[in-house]
Structure 1
Amino acid sequence: MYTAYRHEPFTDFTKEENRQVFQEALNKVENTLGKNYPLIVGGERIFTDEKMNSVNPANKEEIIGAVSKSNTTIIDQAFDAAEKAYQKWRVTSPEARAEVLFRAAAGMRRDKHEYSALLVKEVGKPWKEADADIAEAIDFMEYYARQMIELKNGKGILSREGEYNQYVYQPMGVAVTIPPWNFACAIMVGTTVAPMVTGNTVLLKPAEPAVIIAAKFVELLEQSGMPEGVVNFVPGEPTEIGDYLIDHPKTSLISFTGSRATGTRIYKRAAEIQEGQQHLKRVIIEMGGKDTVVVDEDADLETAVEAVVASAFGFSGQKCSAGSRVVVHQNIYDKLLERVVDRVNEINVGDTTSYDYYMGPVINRKAFDKITGYIAIGKQEGRLAAGGGSDDSKGYFIDPTIFADVSPDARIMQEEIFGPVVAFTKASSYEEAIDIANNTEYGLTGAVISTNVEHLEYAKTHFHVGNLYFNRNCTGAIVGYHPFGGFKMSGTDSKAGGPDYLLQYMHPKTISQQL
């Protein structure tokens, strides 16, 4: 009935006709800026006096749109609506739930460039990065829909004479989804539709800098046949509703992607049993990384340069998978550093509404101040080899920055910066390079650039990350191809986009019949 899953293709912007079509989409999106968007609770549109503005990080004066702000009273209404909808949605056939996702994926595919253009405006993504973000969102819907159909009858277990046994999956209840702003469509979509397609209902609290793309997506789900109350759109200030969502006794599931500090706070609070709560809350968390590109002495230098630059400076380094550390064998350290510096000096930074810019702004003032603060620290901890400049006169722009000769234990080698800053250090042996790569509290992604088969095999068992890449960059996981999640303080290693991801949103149930 359904075609096999295929990764959504990326747009080839080297073709003039594709650039023209995308520019038209940008023009169309710019004509829709400044609208007010309501909360959506049980299908009802709710406008409140308090609003949250979404601001273009490349142009602080430009308002992308505004959404109404939820409060604890509205959150209670959303839980009631979700709980009511759950009673029907949980017994809706898996095929029918999946079909909502198939229709939504088709709708997003038809308007793909407009969704991408919105990401360019709302979070400052370059065209290629925005296009990939939307492609990943489509992938999540297509992949999880097919996964649910495969899981609909459960898994086979043994029966014996006079007995018939079944092992099936059932949903858990109401899920709270708290996605990040950096993959404002992809992760928001994936962590919303996963609980939804498995039969749970959802309260979606999007990241504050990326509320408009989330509002558009919930509208798309409604247009695709989603019943009222299945996904409730409740943006708001974390300080006002964050703990309330986590603590609520009707919360069964929590899916969060963001900082280590917030993730560990959620993990702790979710363990506390609230009055009226009769279940343990399940928590799925991804908390970031401090990811390393290891370059062996026999590495192909051009491959290494491409891997380092793409890993460190794609979307201005604002990825949990960004390669913000480069550990290089001492025999090729100077040569590689020189090549990377030359390449980085060619990177242009500016407003990504133009295709000409490789790098755009960082997301907001808070990020700008944090990153420039780390650049100041880097000047004390290493040698500034490239970049170091910044400009917040119109938007939040920071030059791609390289620090050389940094100690493995330095702050800029240990702490997640989440910006276009990379630190280089040298190792006297390959084994030492892997040891350095492992010396942080994180374990999300990593890359090894080497032509030595024994060294690659060594990394498979000694490089402690959830996603390990050989002879390529350490970013850019594709749904169904590179299930994504990390070890250690990078989170619960839930492996988004993988074959067992949906199982985390369901209870397995054993049914045994005496015949």
Structure 2
Amino acid sequence: MFQNEITYVRMQKAGKEAEFHRLYEEALKEAEKYLHKEYPNIIGKEIIEKEKIKDISPIDGKEIATFQMASPENINRALEMLHSSWKKWYELGYVERARIMLKAADEISRQKYLISALLAYENGKNRTEAMADVDEGIDFLRYYAINMIENQGFHKLSGKGYDNEESFSVMKPYGVFAVIPPFNFYAITVGMTAGPLTVGNAVLLKSSSDIPISTYLTVKILHESGVPKEALAVITGSGRVVGKYVVESDLVSGIVFTGSREVGMDIYHRAQEKRPKPVITEMGGKDAVIVTSRADLDKAVEGIFRGAFGFSGQKCSATSLAYVHEAVYDKFVEKLKERARNVLPEDPRKKEAFVTPVVNREAYEKFKAIEPKLKEYGDVIVGGKALDRPGYYVEATILKDVMRDSYLAKNELFLPVLGIIKVKDLKDAVDEINKSDYGLTGGIFTEDYEEIQYYFNNVDVGVIYANRARGASTGAMVGSQPFVGWKLSGSSGKGTGSYYYLPQFLREQSQTIAH
């Protein structure tokens, strides 16, 4: 039976929070052994390239590792290897593949403090969020393996068209999937890789250049657990090169991508120019939360604060807009201002850190670019500044009285910026949300059950919550809360961590035997 890992919550409940922090501090020291090294690409064997990529820590802006810039020749070599080998991986059978995935999950669980500590150095994630991230990756491996076993490899007796015939529906892999994950979640890298692998496809994983060490270690664990090196290759490289030599390749049978809308839509169209193929995308969101006149304001403030500023707003599920009923607007604004005004970005290695640096210089410069324009979007009541110190630190920022047609109200920033908009009633708020091109996550705070049902029945969003103080629009749990984007937030209409995820990496074959 599947169970979520949820390390920190379990340790808290068991009265072992001090032990959690002790183990994490030890892991921070161990993680230093993995820094300031050069790491290879793995294409059947370790590959060193002429051109390099630097892994820069957002903590201080300094280089912490060197990776390889995959050449077009080696990308093609990887695809040819995977294309010629994927059937051997499939022919192991679903039970053996699931066993390998479960073994890998157990090994990642054994090393979860180390990987969590590495994430602090690589993408600036604080310790509790980093551990939750690694836990989710473990959950994906286990959930998909168990799902594969429970569904008997998605082979079904489909009935009899005629008395002397026996028919089967058999789901089979496509061949080679290219996996292109984002920087912000280790779990997404693991889940996007585990999905196509578990069902029998081979995978070319293009590692995010912001978390390449943790990705490399995970691929090594998968190989050591039994995934053939010929069925799983990992490279780092430029988006331009990957776009040309992976996305457009005839050797790639399908693509799974998480990232920006612009890149996702470009991949979606270019990948299918020659022939149809599955392109499974998650492309972000402009995630809004509603606070009605019947809300518990303390609960709403905590949920929206955590949803907006966890991992410095760098989640596709981050709360970026709050639509607040006019009757409670002023009171809510004051409460939220009080909750956030003394929260400063911290070194993610510190025990007390909540808001941490943004992931890289590009994100930092993006904040600096909008900094002078914030007053055009609304009234800045908290934060609003990029800090002049080593690393990539910006303030958690809140604006009230945000204009509905402003750039801030319509565009995903992927930064710790929250806009508050006054609404006259629940319908007004839902109507505004539904105008958005995005439809990823959202939430509502109200103690009125009928208002919850109105919201659930009318909002065009894939993942929605009511009264969630731990994160108004964030924190989906594998197996319980499928993570799915509607509209321009996703292309498949099916979510990760759900029953419907694995069949996307399979194609159906109808088999009939006449007797």
Q: TM-score, normalised by structure 1?
A: 0.96
Find the aligned partners of 1:474 and 1:156 in 2 and give their Cα distance.
Answer: 40
Residues 292 and 323 of structure 1 are in contact (CA less than 8 Å); yes or no, is this contact kept in structure 2? Answer: yes
Quote the offset at 1:247 in angstroms: 0.2
1:9 aligned partner: 6
Residues 397 and 417 of structure 2 are in contact (CA less than 8 Å); yes or no, is this contact kept in structure 1? Answer: yes
2:150 aligned partner: 150
Q: Deviations over 1:239-259 (max 9, x none)?
A: 222222100011101000000
Residues 375 and 421 of structure 1 are in contact (CA less than 8 Å); yes or no, is this contact kept in structure 2? Answer: no
SS at match of 1:208: coil
Residues 165 and 513 of structure 1 are in contact (CA less than 8 Å); yes or no, is this contact kept in structure 2? Answer: yes
Amino acid in the other structure paired with 1:349: P
Q: Deviations over 1:434-474 (max 9, x none)?
A: 11222211000010111112111111221110001111111
* Structure 1 position 318 matched with structure 2 position 317: no
1:411 aligned partner: 407
* Structure 1 position 376 matched with structure 2 position 378: no
Amino acid in the other structure paired with 1:92: L
Residues 243 and 267 of structure 2 are in contact (CA less than 8 Å); yes or no, is this contact kept in structure 1? Answer: no
Find the aligned partners of 2:381 and 2:388 in 1 and give their Cα distance.
Answer: 22
Q: TM-score, normalised by structure 2?
A: 0.96
1:500 aligned partner: 500
* Structure 1 position 126 matched with structure 2 position 122: no
Question: Equivalent of 2:166, from 164, 178, 183?
Answer: 164
1:195 aligned partner: 196
Residues 181 and 209 of structure 1 are in contact (CA less than 8 Å); yes or no, is this contact kept in structure 2? Answer: yes
Amino acid in the other structure paired with 1:490: S
Q: Deviations over 1:57-77 (max 9, x none)?
A: 01112x221111211100111
Q: Deviations over 1:91-135 (max 9, x none)?
A: 211011111111110001111100100111100001111000000
Quote the offset at 1:477 in angstroms: 0.6
Residues 175 and 252 of structure 2 are in contact (CA less than 8 Å); yes or no, is this contact kept in structure 1? Answer: yes
2:431 aligned partner: 435
Residues 105 and 138 of structure 2 are in contact (CA less than 8 Å); yes or no, is this contact kept in structure 1? Answer: yes
Residues 289 and 321 of structure 1 are in contact (CA less than 8 Å); yes or no, is this contact kept in structure 2? Answer: yes
SS at match of 2:130: helix
* Structure 1 position 79 matched with structure 2 position 75: no
Amino acid in the other structure paired with 1:149: I
1:276 aligned partner: none
* Structure 1 position 511 matched with structure 2 position 492: no
Residues 54 and 208 of structure 1 are in contact (CA less than 8 Å); yes or no, is this contact kept in structure 2? Answer: yes
Residues 312 and 323 of structure 1 are in contact (CA less than 8 Å); yes or no, is this contact kept in structure 2? Answer: yes
Unmatched tracts of structure 2, length 5 or more: none
Find the aligned partners of 2:165 and 2:249 in 1 and give their Cα distance.
Answer: 41
2:115 aligned partner: 115
Find the aligned partners of 1:410 and 1:326 in 2 and give their Cα distance.
Answer: 14
Amino acid in the other structure paired with 1:318: Q
1:490 aligned partner: 489
Find the aligned partners of 1:78 and 1:392 in 2 and give their Cα distance.
Answer: 43
SS at match of 2:203: strand
Amino acid in the other structure paired with 1:58: I
Q: Deviations over 1:309-360 (max 9, x none)?
A: 0110000000000010000000000000100010001323111111111111
Find the aligned partners of 1:301 and 1:23 in 2 and give their Cα distance.
Answer: 36
Amino acid in the other structure paired with 2:179: T
1:285 aligned partner: 281
Find the aligned partners of 1:469 and 1:10 in 2 and give their Cα distance.
Answer: 23
Question: Equivalent of 2:29, from 27, 30, 43?
Answer: 27
SS at match of 2:219: helix
1:345 aligned partner: 341
Find the aligned partners of 1:93 and 1:5 in 2 and give their Cα distance.
Answer: 21
Find the aligned partners of 2:210 and 2:252 in 1 and give their Cα distance.
Answer: 25
SS at match of 1:402: strand
**Bigger CA drift: 147-156 or 121-130?**
147-156
1:233 aligned partner: 234
Quote the offset at 1:87 in angstroms: 2.4
RMSD: 1.2
Find the aligned partners of 1:454 and 1:405 in 2 and give their Cα distance.
Answer: 27
Residues 384 and 402 of structure 1 are in contact (CA less than 8 Å); yes or no, is this contact kept in structure 2? Answer: yes
Residues 252 and 280 of structure 1 are in contact (CA less than 8 Å); yes or no, is this contact kept in structure 2? Answer: no
Find the aligned partners of 2:87 and 2:352 in 1 and give their Cα distance.
Answer: 51
- Would the alpha carbon gap of residues 87 and 30 (structure 1) be closer, same or farther in structure 2, given more than 3 Å must change? same
Q: Deviations over 1:176-230 (max 9, x none)?
A: 00000000x2000100111111100011001121111111111111111111211
Amino acid in the other structure paired with 2:200: G
Residues 284 and 494 of structure 1 are in contact (CA less than 8 Å); yes or no, is this contact kept in structure 2? Answer: no
Quote the offset at 1:161 in angstroms: 1.8
Amino acid in the other structure paired with 1:174: V
SS at match of 1:31: helix
Find the aligned partners of 2:357 and 2:76 in 1 and give their Cα distance.
Answer: 37
Find the aligned partners of 2:406 and 2:453 in 1 and give their Cα distance.
Answer: 29
Residues 377 and 412 of structure 1 are in contact (CA less than 8 Å); yes or no, is this contact kept in structure 2? Answer: no
Residues 285 and 494 of structure 1 are in contact (CA less than 8 Å); yes or no, is this contact kept in structure 2? Answer: no
1:174 aligned partner: 176
Find the aligned partners of 2:244 and 2:182 in 1 and give their Cα distance.
Answer: 17
Residues 85 and 228 of structure 1 are in contact (CA less than 8 Å); yes or no, is this contact kept in structure 2? Answer: no
SS at match of 1:244: helix
Unmatched tracts of structure 1, length 5 or more: 274-278
Find the aligned partners of 1:52 and 1:41 in 2 and give their Cα distance.
Answer: 17
- Would the alpha carbon gap of residues 458 and 418 (structure 1) be closer, same or farther in structure 2, given more than 3 Å must change? same
Amino acid in the other structure paired with 1:205: K
Find the aligned partners of 1:269 and 1:348 in 2 and give their Cα distance.
Answer: 42
The number of aligned residues is 504
1:398 aligned partner: 394
